[in-house]
Each structure stands twice: as C-alpha cells, then as structure tokens.
Structure 1
Amino acid sequence: MLSSITTLRPEECRPVPDAGLGALSTERGNLPLESVDVTAAVSGLVAGVEVVQGFRNPHDVALEATYVFPLPDRAAVTAFRMEADGRVVEGVLKERGQARADYDRALAQGRRAAIAEEDRPDVFTIRVGNIVPGERVTVHLTLNQPLPYEDGAATFRFPLVVAPRYIPGAPLDGEQAGDGWAPDTDAVPDASRITPPVLLPGFPSPVRLSLAVSVDPAGLVLREMRSSLHVVQEEGTTVRLRPGERLDRDFILRLSFDASTSLALTPDGDEGTFALTVVPDPAQTAATPKDVVLVLDRSGSMSGWKMVAARRAAARIVDTLTSRDRFAVLSFDTVVEQPEGLGEGLSQASDRNRYRAVEHLTRLEARGGTEMLAPLERAAALLAGSAGDRVLVLVTDGQVGNEDQILKRLDARLRGVRVHTVGIDRAVNAGFLGRLAGLGGGRCELVESEDRLDEAMEHIHRRIGAPLVTDLSLKADGLDVIPETVSHVGSIYPGVPLTVLGRYRGAGGGALTVRGLDAAGQPWERRVTAKVAANPATRAIWARARLRALEDSYAIGDHSLEEKIVETSLRYGVLCRFTAFVAVDTRTVTEGGPEHRVIQPVELPSGWESPIVAAAPMMMAASAYGGAPAQMPAHIPRPAPARPPVAPPAGPPGLAPPGSVPAFGASGAGPGMAQEAAAGGFDDRARMLPRSAPVAPPLRQGTPKEPPREQLAEELARLRAAASLPDAERLLMLRDLGSRLAALAVHLGGHAELEALARELQGGGDVETLWRRAVEGLEALVRPAKRRPFWKR
C-alpha cells in the first residue's frame, strides 16, 4: 500500500497561461469537485430544491474530498444520499458526534462514506471519503425553502459561494476543527471550518454549474419574472442558467404576483403545521419621532462597487430623517469613527447636521478589518437612554466569522430596538444578517448590485418608519394551537405580509384572529379561516425556523437547549448544527483509509477586489490539500502559518488516536480555556468534536519562519529614542512602522503577531496607547521563541 504521494516533476505540471499567479494543471486535473447541479420547483411562496454535487478522484490513491458551500439560510435540508459505482446509499440523520464517528469508522475500514454538516445557517460542509482512483461519486441534498414576499414580489435566492469572512480573536491551541486557512480563535472557535481556500483570479472555471427553476404560481397570477446577475434562458415558466456561469455569486429570481391573506393547515398524523399569512392594507402611517443610529461597514471587503453602494444607501437613510428625529452615524473597520461636528451622542437631524453626516459618508473608502462588535455595542449604548422609537440600521456585507459572539453580546442590549440590516454583496452573509435583524424584530434587505439599490432603499425607508400594527397576538378559535411552537409574531409593516408558523393538535379547522394596535393606538384585528392544504414542505420549513430560534438561544448562553435541539432535528428530519447526515456504503473499496485529502478551493466572489499582495501568504496553502492555488483577500487577518502535525499512532477504528490533542470540545477551547469563554461556541456534540484520524493526515507544506529579531530590535531602539517627540510626529512614526511590519509579514509568508500589530498601528487612535502597544509588541517579538511541544512541531 502506498504511504505517500510523489511530487510531480516540473515538466509534468505546466502553468496554465491565463490561470493567474501560481496556477498549475496536470493531465488529470487536481480538483475533486466537477459539477454542481441545482434544480428548483417553486410553488407559490415555497421552493423545493435538489442539489447534486459531482466529485471525481483524479489521483492515483484513495481520496477524501471536502467542500464548504452555502445554502439559503432559511432552507430545511431533509434528505441526503450518495451514489457511486451503480450503488445508492441513503443518508441517515444522527446526532453530530455519532455521525462523525460512523463516518470515520467507515473510512478506516476501507468503505466509501459521505457526511453533510451545518456550520452556519447558510454554510455547510460535505466530506466524501474513500473515492477510489478515477471514480466519480455524486451526493444529493434535498431541501425546502420559503420565499420572502414584499411589495408584490417573491424572491428565490440561491447562494453559490462562501465569501471570505473576517476572523477576529486570539488563535486557540490544540487541533484545529477544520482544514481552512484561518486558525480557530476564542471569538470564532470553528474558523478553520468556514474559511476554504480561494482560487486565484483568472483560474479557469473548475466546476460545471447548471441551475434550473420551474415556477408554478399555485393559483396566483404571475405577472413577471426577473433575474439578477446571472444570464438566464426562459422556457415558458422555467428559467435556467446558460452554460459557463461560475459559482461566484448568488442566483436571484424575483416573481411578481399578488399574495393573499390565508391560513393553511398541513396535517401529519395526530398533529399538523399551520402557516398564517396576513397581507396589510395599503395604508401609510403618520411619521413619529425616532432615534436612529446608522452603522456603516467600511472594511476592506467592502471595496469597489460595494463601498459606493453602501455610501449611497447610508446617505439616503440620513436624508429620510426629519428635524423631529435624532441620529448618529458610526463608520467602522478596525476603528470606529463619527462625523466631525456631530458630537459623541445623538444629534438632532437638522439640515446642517444631516449635511455634515452625508459629507462624512462621501469621503469614506474601504480599508482594514471587519471589527463589527465594537460599533454595534456603541450603537446599543447610544440608544439605551432613548424613550422613543429606537432604530439601528447596519449597512455591511456581513462577512464575519464571529456571528455567535456578536449575537450573544448584543441580545439583551438590543431588546426594544428595531434592528434593520442592509446586506450589500453578490455573495452576502444572509444568515447572519437575518439573525441580527431578528433580535430587534426588524427586516433584512439584500442588495446584490447597484441597479437593485434604489428598489431596496425604498423598502428600507418604509421599515425605518413606524410599523402599521404593533403589539400583535394570536387568538385561536376551534384550532388547538401548541403555544411553544408558534414563531415570533412581530409587527406589520407597509408592503410586507405577516407570516406566522406553528403546530396544532387534532383535526384541522377553525380560525386564527390576529390582534394588535394601529399607528394611532387603536385596536386592530383580522380573523382568518383555516383551509387544509397538502403541502408537506410547510412542516420542514417550520422545523427549520424552530431550530434556528433554539440555536440562537443556545448561542447567546442557554446551553440547556442542546437535547431539545437534537430531539427536534431528529423528530422532524431536518438538519441543524447539532446533527449531521451520514451515508455509509457496506462495500469495502480500498485498504485502510484515504491516503490523500483535498479541500475544494472556492471562487472569489464576483465584484471583490483581490490585491496580489494578499496572495502571498496563501500561495502554498492549497498545495497542502492537493488543490488549486489559493489566496486570501486583503481585509482578512492572515493566520499564523500552518503547523505540520505529527502523525499519532493509530487507534481502534472510529476513535481518536491515543495521545492525540483534542480540538475545541466540551472540556474547553484549548488548554485552560472553558467552552463558554470562547464566545459560546458549540461543544463537541455540535461541531467541535475532534476529527478522528484512522490514518495520518498529510503533512502541510512549509514551516513557519521566525521574524528577524535584529531588525525588530532596531525598530524597538528607534521607538525608545523617539519617546519625547511631539504627538503628531510619534503618530506618523507609528504609521510608518506599521507599514514596515506589514511588508515584513508578507515577506515571511504570513505572521499573525506582526500583522496584528501592523493593523493596530496603521489604524490610528490614541498616541500613548499605540506607543505602549508598539513597544510591548516589539519586546515580545524580539524575545527568543519558546520551543513548541513535540506534538505541535
């Protein structure tokens, strides 16, 4: 049996002329993912989708392929199967730790297996193991998703790429949770699972994409279909992509028709699921005074058209305010800034103050990292003392990894605040922005192009205004509703139907009455009679929404919910972060386990700028996985170089090898760090179970370089000699030092400590604080490095 993979000679791997820096090609290719086929059937306001991913092993030894990909954030994954060599293996939904153990045991025994896991509401990972040389394996995912409806149009959105996310926090010791380019940190303890390597610009499209959507209005009058971004062909009521499209942005289809108020019941045994839809009257509310804090993301990932669109969106929000309102504008990257002349608190929205705010917005350019928590905490503090209508608007692409940390820290502080999020990107982090808006009962608007901005801002303007009906409650008449299963009722806004899902007992029938207060404070109600509808997707969509609500409660600290989450997932057959689908073949196809592992690089999202200097630290990353050259966008803080693991002795099949170092698990995020100290990350039953390794993983290429201590000692001496200079000169000196440290880090192929210090010094701020930080940072870097424990060398 082979124990290693021979490196190709230079003449065997010629550069592809138009493939970008460092791209290589062989006759067999080097990426396992061949195709992604998406087939969707829209019926009214629900879509059923099947996703088929095709993998091929181009290598001479057995392969394990890993693919990190997105799905719609409200979609319910209900089935999974694997097909290979004429065999079909149905996936089984299990508690996540058990599913991983089954998968690892199968690989150690030489059997083919696949596992599907959820890492975020819209980020999933599939691993397919023991693909034999030259073999093709396909995996099938079945899902159902609701279509959001607003202003006479429903939207079918299908994401196709996981965009690079900003990863804050200090790196954790111990085994990493995944194989991505970012190390796990105390703020994002599974960062290595959500950061797949990125293809360099110009690399030939490695994956064949097909996508078709058939539309059945289900009794509604379909007036128009519109598609954004992707080139499409239309055949009757079926829309499909033309060949050659890349997986680098969301596919979006908007369907114009009139929704109607309804109460649909879907029975299943002794219980059933209800879906209540209430379409508001086309009335407008009287303007009421409000306090608004606008938070604008100006980090590096917002460069290009996104920064232009974000500035326009923010300026239009400011322009909608009246002199009766108060407001504040916060722009952020690694620091938080406010317009000059407006003060630190809320300012009256006078003509002069609004002009100052817009002038500040027009000067903003993208830069730095996405430190989102601090500005949101400041916004919550500004609104804390307000007695009126409180509104927070966040304009961002949402590309951060510490979603759970942000939600946990803001949950209590944003109660009573209406939070609206504006996501600007062609591969937006919709799952996180939807969850954040949900904290304050607000809305999430997604903007995928400048052409879409005007339409989206009209929606946002109405949302910032007062809702049509508040203080909503439900009263059942002849329908035995199970109270704890009912989704959040919220408020009714102009042009936005109210949708409530829940479960009921017994025979279907009766009615639900929605009650609340209108804008004038007068009682308002609407009674809706139930009708039975044969739509099994309703049950799965309700279960998915229920699981998301429970997982958000878990993320903000209620860890008693774990068993309830697992039980709900298994009972209704819907994938969540605590469970996984696993498919295991009974046939033995190879001896031992896979000898080569590849994580599929993903496209850089369309519209993202990619400076070549950002590629340097990642040039060798993909080769460690046998994949294509990869890189990391400039706004991402580059991790410490990969540490080549020492192969531990093999243990019993399916168990962690003896003496292996556990990853972030129930006992802690690393030596001496408790689970809850790491931002409420999920424990080993959810996503942090150490990856059992029946066979030794491949060694990563290259070892970290140590920084030149003599050069850093000279920088430190120069700082100490200049301690008495005026503040302005010292600040300029610190910025220059930051630029030199950044260049040194690139020269070294990435160095986390140097890069972190460089970002701080270039970001500006209080001179004394930065000066002290620079001296302490350089002192730490010039000390002799401690010898790492043998298991980390």
Structure 2
Amino acid sequence: MMVNCGLLNNRKESVPLKSNEVQLEVKDHVATVVSTLNYENMEDKLLEAVFVFPLPGDAAVCHFSAQIGQTHIVAEVKEKQQALEEYDDALSSGQQAFLLKESDQSPDIFSLSVGSLPPGESASIRLEYVTELAVQADDGLRFCLPTVLNPRYHPRGNECFRVHMTSVPASLVPYSLSFSARVSSPRPITKVESNCSLEPLEYLNADQTQATVKLAAGHKFDRDVELLIYYKDAHQPTAVVEAGQASAKPGSLMGDPVVMVSLYPEFPQDVISSLASRGEFVFLMDRSGSMNYTRISSARDTLLLLMKSLPMGCYFNIYSFGSRFEHIFPTSVEYSEKTMEEALKEVEKMEANLGGTEILLPLKHIYAQPCIPKQFRQLFIFTDGEVGNTKEVIDLVKMNAATHRCFSFGIGAGASSALINGMAKEGGGHAQFITGTDRMQPKVMQSLRFALQPAVEDISVSWDLPKGVSSTILSPPITAIFQGQRSLIYAQLTGQTSEATDGCVTVKYSLAGHPSQNQLHFNLKPAEDTGLTVHMLAARTVIRSLESEQRTHSGQQDEEVKKKKVVELSVQSGVSSSFTALIAVNKDVGKAVQGPLVRRNIPTPFYGMTSRNFSASRSPVVTHEAASPPPRKDPLLQLVSLQKAFGCWLLDAHLAAALGKTSEEVEKAKPASVNSEVWASILALIWLHGFKMDAKEEWELLTLKAASWIKAQNAPCVSECVEAGNTLLGCSVKKEDLGL
C-alpha cells in the first residue's frame, strides 16, 4: 500500500515541486533573474508535472535547462507546434522531456511541463530571463517577482482564451520560495524597499554602488515580491554598448553591437508650470467581484481627488465595468460644479458588484465616441488585471492610440503586468502598480500631472556616428515623452571604426509649439561583463513589435511573413515568443522509462479566498464579502470633498469641522475686509500645508487651482489673512508657500 508523504495537494497526492530558488542580479536598470525549480517524485508512479505560473509581461526568457542526476540538458528554442510534437514524441518513446511555453493569450503566463519523472528521482529546472526595471513616480526602480496568479476572467463564448491551471489559496501553497538580490550601479544605492520582509541590506563596497539583500524566510505567497531600488541621481541619461555574439553572423542582430540608450527628458520650467487646461478625461473603473471592499473604497477616494483636481474648461466622464459596464453621463460633459457634484454622488454608490472582468466592451464603447474638438482624450484605466484576453485588449488600445493617451493602474496582488504595461505602452501613457498597503492616490495624481503636461509632438531620433558606422533603430517609435520619465531606445550598430570613438543620439520634439531636444554623447567601446543582456532585451523588443503587427494587420500572407520573422529571430536570439517554445529532451536515458504517465498539476497561488466560477460559458459567480462598517472619513478627504470645482471653499460649519474648529472660532478670526470664500480657501490651504505635507502629491493640483482662484479675486489683505489663519490653526505657513 502506497503511503503519501512529503507535500500533498488537496487530493492527497504528492506535489513534485518542492522549492523555487530565485536569484536576482540588477545592473543599473536591467534585471537578470535565475529561477531554480527543484522537483522530486515521491510517488511510486511515473509523473508528468505541469506548472502554470506568472512572469513579468515584458521579460525576455532566454535560458531553460534541466539537471537530472549528473545529466545536464539545455533547451533549444523551436517553433511552438514542432516543440509540442517533439515533447509528445519523447514521452511516448519513454524519454524524459521538458517544455516551457508562453500562453497564446497573455505574455505574462507560462507553463512548464516536466515529463517522465521516475519514482524517487529528482530534477532541477533552471529558468533565466532579463527585463528592464520601470521607473516609479518617486524615482524608485520597480522589480516585481510575480508569485500570485489570480484566475483570469474569460469573456463568455471565447473558449480559446482559457488557460488551464490549478489554483490554491496563498496559505495552502505546498512549496517554498527563497529569494536573493545583488544590485550594482555606477551611482550609489541609497535604499532598497519591499512589500515583503527583507533581511538587512548589505553594502559590498565603500562607495555603496554594490549591495545584496535577501527575502526573509517563510514567504506566504499572499503577494508578489516587489523591490523598489533607489539610486542617487537616478535621472542621469546613460548608454550601454554591448558587443555582438562571436558565433553569430555579422549583420544580424545578435552578431552586431547593440546600444541601449536611456534618456530622461527635462522640459523647460515655464512649460511645466503652465499645465494644460483642456482635455477630455475618461476614467474607467473596475467594479468586478475581485475588487474587494478595501480596493473599491480606495477607488472611490481616488475618484474624489481626481474630480477636485481637474482643470476648468476640460471635459470628463466616468465608466465602470464588470460583466457589463455603466457610465455616469451618456457622453463626456464639460467640467463644472454641477457636473462634478452629479458625478461624485454616483461615485459614492460604487460597489464591487458588476461580476467578471470584461474590459473590452467598455473600451470599444469609449473609442466609438467621437473626440471633442481641441480636447485631447486622456483615458485612465483602473483594474486588478484579472483579464483572460490580454492581447486583444492591448491591440484595441494600440489601434486607437492616435486619438488618446492611456494611463493604466494595476490594483492588488496578481495584477497582470502584461495588461497594465501593455495598455500604457501602446496608448502612449504611463503604468502604475498599487500593491499591498500602497495608497492609490499619490500614484494616480502623479499620472494626472503627466496627463496635464502638454502633449509632445513631432518626435524624431537622429544619430551622429563615426564614418563607417550606421545605426538601425530596433525600438518602436517613441509616441510619448513625459517630464523626468525614462525613454528607452535600442539600436543595432553596423560597420566598424578603427578606434574607440564617441557617438551621439538626439531626440527632437515639439512641446507646446516650441522645438526642444535632448542629446546624449556616448563611447562606442563595448561595456564589459554585460553578457548578451542588451541583445536579448533588444530582440524581445523587436519580437513584441512583430507579434503585435502580426495580430493587428489584416491579410493572411502578411501574418505568415511576420510570424516567420518572429520564429527566426526567436530561434536566433534564444528569446522565447508566442510562436516558439523551449524544448529539452534527455536522450541519454539508458533505457526507456516504463509505465503509464500520471499528470500532476502544480498548484499556483492566488490571492484571497473568494470563490468564483471563471468558465467561458457561464456568468461568474461572485462571493460577496460581509458588509464592513463605513470607515470614518479621512480628514484630508473630508476637507477635499468640500472644495468647489472652480477652486474655492465655502465658509460653513462643514469646513470648520474639517479644520477641527467651531463655526464661531472660524468666523471670529476672519479679517473684516476679506470675503468669506477667500478666507475659507486660505484656511484650507494653510491646513493642507501645515498638517498634510506628507500627502502633498495628493492635494497639490487642487491647491494650485485654489491659489489661482484666490489671486483672480484681487482680494485685499491676503497677507493679513495668512497671518490670522496661522494663528487660528496653530501653523507657521508662509504666504509664498501657498502660491499666493
């Protein structure tokens, strides 16, 4: 009789995956990740172990190998159907085989099949990928190791979108995770933060340009592992030239040097200070059942701040979606006190009660609305990213990129990086992730500041290189530039120069009608110790562009040509794609492994205990949480909620209460010659500057609007009001600090 031992799944079967050991190496803003998955068959049957798991959506998977005893086999990249057939043939002939492939519908989901693992045998699988680190609003570089894969909602009738996976709540994951990181940069590392418990950061040299850090033992799989890395002078432009692969053909992407240019455009201050007062702002909020009480409550607060911060003269609308979608107004309306108040009444009623996550229908509806003349459309999308048809959504955003900018926000553990980053990239906007105890509001207001920046037009990139050297840009054309945000360019360098000389790249653009440019001089001598990281990232960039073109361009012949190019580049570079897979077959097995093959699905952690049905043919079943008592209003949001659309506050009992005073105290302290609204507005500004400087990112835009309104009143005795307000509230805020 077989005795189950070791780690068991919910059917009392042994789970062959025992541990995942992850090593991260960060060089400046590029990360290399090596994940070692250790398997052991503790049953008396021959096993096939299948593991569906998340990876960063923009990762370039570049190595896959297996170690069985003394035998080491390295996988090859092959066309996907060919790889699948070779895997099946190997298993049917009794050979061990290993297969790694990307999901057809979302580039951030992979499946790993470990075939013919005999009883009592162990195997170690090594998976390696490289990725760029995104720059956050506070200049931190964000690395995320996805460990949570929430079930993706599949639109009814779309059977092809299904990803077959076995999920368990985070608390029941039957394997362990260890994680260590080594960080190096030309600039000092100021700090490393995480949403998970870390062991103390250890610096490896005196100038603090190298450091190591480890995840504390016992990760619970209830969140992705997020690292935020901060460098001194993070906004320095850089260029890295990497030598080609010696064995590759000269003239090919892998055979020639490749340069990665990282630019941080700086706009003239007078342009930044004159934020655009026009635009159509469309907010699309996820109200599916997975947006739990905390998330939807934070979303309501965020919409309040957004409504108060919009400029007069713009247009707006608010959509929400689940299995169906709703909108507050039939079409976008002009921003006014009346329309703002009407919208906020509807926002207060919002609950996570609209079923599954069908984002495609509301997007199609929004794009079908005619654009308002001279009002550039800015789309803000908030979602937990549990979407099955990721590529279809991203392609729709791309098709409409000429008429809008798209700002996307991934909410909570397991949000799809492919979806969030993809929508922002194709929509010429910016992506943000809100995880753990992060406040949504500062990140959203950062994106609103980007949206209010003038649209950059007529972007061009030019190269000044030595005689005999030419460049081929590998990146898609730059469609958006924001103040202080990174723009990445990959280029292949062809030809040779006799000595190490400099090159120069110039990005030119038009900003609010004025020509501007950013320039970077760099040395053409290849950097040392980069391996082929830059080449792989460049190959990944070209592959993703070709895949997108293959999906969105009509014509079967054109599709086949693009697919062939993807497969050729994927095989040449060793970087996986949607049309290829990595296959390894152990042909050294002395004799064919005998016996029927039993499949064991490795369970993937998902966040939360909500029970939902994600079938393609039925509506989702949503388990509602027990009603939570309404929280006491946050003092900051209480004050913000009282502001009028055009910027002022009214002097009434509600304002006095928000300031922590009585109506009598506020009235008595008012200078006699000033009107009530000016006095109320100055008090609100003093309170925000005096007590809420830690949340300045959240209220900065609405106070700019308030200060402009106060100045437009030509009110007398502003200095006297500020002095009296400081005395009343116990503050010492200067008039200049208030923008007055």
Q: TM-score range by the shorter chain?
A: 0.7 to 0.9
Residue 530 of structure 1 corresponds to 522
Deviations 1:531-586 (A, max 9, x none): 23233311111111221121122222452410011111112211111111111111
* Counterpart selection for 2:116 from 92, 116, 130: 130
Q: Offset at 1:393?
A: 0.8
Deviations 1:465-506 (A, max 9, x none): 124743210111126554462333223212312221222212
Q: Distance in 2 between matches of 1:13 and 1:574?
A: 39
Q: Distance in 1 between matches of 2:171 and 2:61?
A: 33
Q: Distance in 2 between matches of 1:130 and 1:350?
A: 67
Is the CA contact 2:380–2:406 (under 8 Å) kept in the aligned structure 1? yes
1:51 equivalent in alignment to 2:35? yes
Q: Distance in 2 between matches of 1:41 and 1:409?
A: 35
Is the CA contact 2:280–2:372 (under 8 Å) kept in the aligned structure 1? no
Q: Distance in 2 between matches of 1:71 and 1:449?
A: 19
Is the CA contact 1:408–1:557 (under 8 Å) kept in the aligned structure 2? no
Residue 637 of structure 1 corresponds to 614
TM-score, scaled to structure 1? 0.69
1:329–1:497: structure 2 CA closer, same or farther, 3 Å change rule? same
Residue 24 of structure 2 corresponds to 40
Residue 689 of structure 1 corresponds to none
Residue 506 of structure 2 corresponds to 513
Residue 308 of structure 2 corresponds to 319
Deviates more, 1:39-48 or 1:490-499: 490-499
Deviations 1:330-367 (A, max 9, x none): 0111222123xxx3111111123223223322321112
1:467–1:35: structure 2 CA closer, same or farther, 3 Å change rule? farther
Residue 540 of structure 1 corresponds to 536
**What percentage of aligned pairs have identical amino acids?**
25
Q: Offset at 1:285?
A: 4.8
Is the CA contact 2:475–2:541 (under 8 Å) kept in the aligned structure 1? no
Residue 734 of structure 1 corresponds to none
Runs of 4+ in structure 1 off by over 6 angstroms are: none
Residue 404 of structure 2 corresponds to 417
Q: Say which SS state the counterpart of residue 223 (structure 1) adopts.
A: strand
Q: Distance in 1 between matches of 2:484 and 2:199?
A: 28
1:499 equivalent in alignment to 2:488? yes
Is the CA contact 1:467–1:492 (under 8 Å) kept in the aligned structure 2? no
Q: Say which SS state the counterpart of residue 314 (structure 1) adopts.
A: helix
Letter in 2 for 1:478: L
Deviations 1:153-189 (A, max 9, x none): 2111111122111011326xxxxxxxxxxxxx1xxx1
TM-score, scaled to structure 2? 0.74
Letter in 1 for 2:416: N
Residue 582 of structure 1 corresponds to 583
Residue 223 of structure 1 corresponds to 190
Q: Offset at 1:392?
A: 0.8
Letter in 1 for 2:216: R
* Counterpart selection for 1:439 from 422, 426, 431: 426
1:450–1:471: structure 2 CA closer, same or farther, 3 Å change rule? farther
Q: Distance in 1 between matches of 2:488 and 2:31?
A: 16
Residue 298 of structure 1 corresponds to 287
Q: Offset at 1:303?
A: 1.5
* Counterpart selection for 2:107 from 121, 138, 145: 121
Letter in 1 for 2:383: T
Q: Distance in 2 between matches of 1:389 and 1:357?
A: 21
Q: Which ranges in structure 2 are unaligned for 5 or more consecutive residues? A: 204-210, 251-255, 623-740
Residue 199 of structure 1 corresponds to 168
Is the CA contact 1:287–1:465 (under 8 Å) kept in the aligned structure 2? yes
Is the CA contact 1:310–1:396 (under 8 Å) kept in the aligned structure 2? no
* Counterpart selection for 1:209 from 153, 158, 177: 177
Q: Offset at 1:226?
A: 1.1
Is the CA contact 1:332–1:372 (under 8 Å) kept in the aligned structure 2? yes
Q: Distance in 2 between matches of 1:570 and 1:467?
A: 42
Q: Offset at 1:232?
A: 4.4
Residue 603 of structure 2 corresponds to 601
Is the CA contact 2:410–2:420 (under 8 Å) kept in the aligned structure 1? yes
Is the CA contact 1:514–1:526 (under 8 Å) kept in the aligned structure 2? yes
Q: Offset at 1:637?
A: 3.3
Residue 235 of structure 1 corresponds to 202
Q: Offset at 1:385?
A: 4.4
Q: Distance in 2 between matches of 1:228 and 1:190?
A: 31
Q: Distance in 2 between matches of 1:243 and 1:55?
A: 20
Q: Offset at 1:24?
A: 5.1
1:13–1:591: structure 2 CA closer, same or farther, 3 Å change rule? closer
1:245 equivalent in alignment to 2:233? no
Q: Distance in 2 between matches of 1:474 and 1:414?
A: 20
Q: How large is the RMSD of aligned CA atoms in angstroms? A: 2.6
Letter in 1 for 2:599: R
Q: Offset at 1:453?
A: 2.3
* Counterpart selection for 2:230 from 256, 271, 278: 256
1:311–1:229: structure 2 CA closer, same or farther, 3 Å change rule? farther
Aligned pairs for 1:558-569 within 5 A: 558=554, 559-560=559-560, 561-569=562-570
Residue 383 of structure 2 corresponds to 396
Q: Which ranges in structure 1 are unaligned for 5 or more consecutive residues? A: 1-5, 172-184, 615-633, 640-751, 760-793
Is the CA contact 2:470–2:495 (under 8 Å) kept in the aligned structure 1? no
Q: Distance in 2 between matches of 1:34 and 1:429?
A: 25
Q: Say which SS state the counterpart of residue 575 (structure 2) adopts.
A: coil
Q: Distance in 1 between matches of 2:380 and 2:473?
A: 30
Q: Offset at 1:300?
A: 0.9
Q: Distance in 1 between matches of 2:470 and 2:415?
A: 36
Structure with higher Rg: it is: 2
1:149–1:87: structure 2 CA closer, same or farther, 3 Å change rule? same
Is the CA contact 2:279–2:374 (under 8 Å) kept in the aligned structure 1? no
Q: Distance in 1 between matches of 2:539 and 2:579?
A: 14
* Counterpart selection for 2:351 from 358, 365, 385: 365
Is the CA contact 1:81–1:139 (under 8 Å) kept in the aligned structure 2? yes
Q: Offset at 1:594?
A: 4.9
Q: Offset at 1:190?
A: 4.3
Q: Distance in 1 between matches of 2:391 and 2:553?
A: 10
Residue 571 of structure 2 corresponds to 570
1:95 equivalent in alignment to 2:85? no
Residue 459 of structure 1 corresponds to 446
Q: Offset at 1:147?
A: 1.1
Q: Offset at 1:130?
A: 0.4
Is the CA contact 2:191–2:230 (under 8 Å) kept in the aligned structure 1? yes
1:467–1:593: structure 2 CA closer, same or farther, 3 Å change rule? farther
Q: Distance in 2 between matches of 1:307 and 1:390?
A: 25
* Counterpart selection for 1:286 from 265, 274, 294: 274
Aligned length: 580
